[in-house]
Amino acid sequence: MIKNFLKLIKNEFTLMLRGSVFTIVLYSLLLIAASIFSLALRHVSFDIEIAIAFLWVIIFFISLIKVEKVYATDFSEPKLQQYILSPFALEIVVFLKNIMIYFNLLFLFIIFSPIILIILGIQLSYLLPINILLALSLLSIIFISSMTASITISKNNKLSITSVLTLPLFIPILIFSMALTDVVDFQLNKMYLFFVAYFLLNLAFSPLLTSFALKKLSV
């Protein structure tokens, strides 16, 4: 069983590496969007909260697109049946896939983040706090996005519209991310515990609902 589980992790890691090119493309589009945003407001002085809000909104869209792309590819009808017939529950597969997507997005964001901050006019002294903030919030973003993607890729197009019901789940992440920017130099404090607690809340039901949607709506 352990050998099969390690093999599953290896397969998911391989799929993650293959999808890195698409992630790089998405972050390249982020650089373009950030450049356009900065040029449009080059004559206007704006606080760091505005830049962070813009960055987080774009990250939301990147995560949604990335997760939906991965789910549409990896959970196509033949592959979904293979996962269902595997010795591991579909919830475990969903969890591993989400974690791999998380590391993929986070690792490449860390690489791109210095350039992004320079384009947005954010001091590089905020580099570490922003990366920590994104690392915490991205966990919940990915798991919420998996629920959205599992419904969106379903064959029942009439139910795809219900995927918008998951969008309000992103709002607390954005609100608390903006609230943290009011803290001097993003000093670590108890507010960061919200992101951990919110992730644990999503972890409790996201794999279950995602696997349920995949099995019930994609057949």
| pLDDT higher than 50, residue 184 | no
Give the C-alpha distances (Å, rounded to integers) separating 91 from 38, 64, 214. 42, 19, 10
Per-residue pLDDT for 32 more than 90?
yes
For range 74-103, the mean pLDDT: 86
Q: Rounded mean pLDDT of 203-216? A: 83
In angstroms, the CA 202 to CA 140 distance is 6
Q: How far is CA 145 from CA 17, 21, 66, 109, 193, in A?
A: 20, 20, 9, 18, 21
* pLDDT at res. 22: 92
Question: Which residues make Cβ contacts (< 8 Å) with residue 124, sequence separation at least 6?
Answer: 114, 117, 118
Q: Tell me which H or E stretch contains 206.
A: helix 192-217
When mean pLDDT is compared over 7-16, 77-86, 111-120, 200-209, the highest value belongs to 111-120
Give the separation between CA 31 and CA 28, rounded to whole angstroms: 5
How much is the mean pLDDT over the chain? 81
Report CA 217 to chain centroid distance, whole Å: 22
Q: Which tens digit of pLDDT belongs to each residue from 35-50?
A: 988 888 777 666 777 8
pLDDT band at 114; cut points 50, 70, 90: very high
Buried b / exposed e across 66-79, counting CB within 10 Å, b at 16+?
bbbbbbeebbeeee
Q: Which of 55, 170, 62, 64 is nearest to 119 (CA)?
A: 55
* Residue 156 structure tokens: 């029942």
Mean pLDDT value of segment 204-213: 84
Q: Give the whole-number percent of the chain exceeding pLDDT 70.
A: 84
Using the structure block, give the residue that is written with the tokens 């607690």: 197
Closest C-alpha to 50, from 199, 182, 186: 182
Stated pTM of the model: 0.86
Measured distance CA(218)–CA(146) in Å, rounded? 14
* pLDDT beyond 50 at 84: yes
pLDDT tens, residue by residue, 135-181: 988 999 999 888 888 877 765 555 555 555 667 777 777 777 766 66
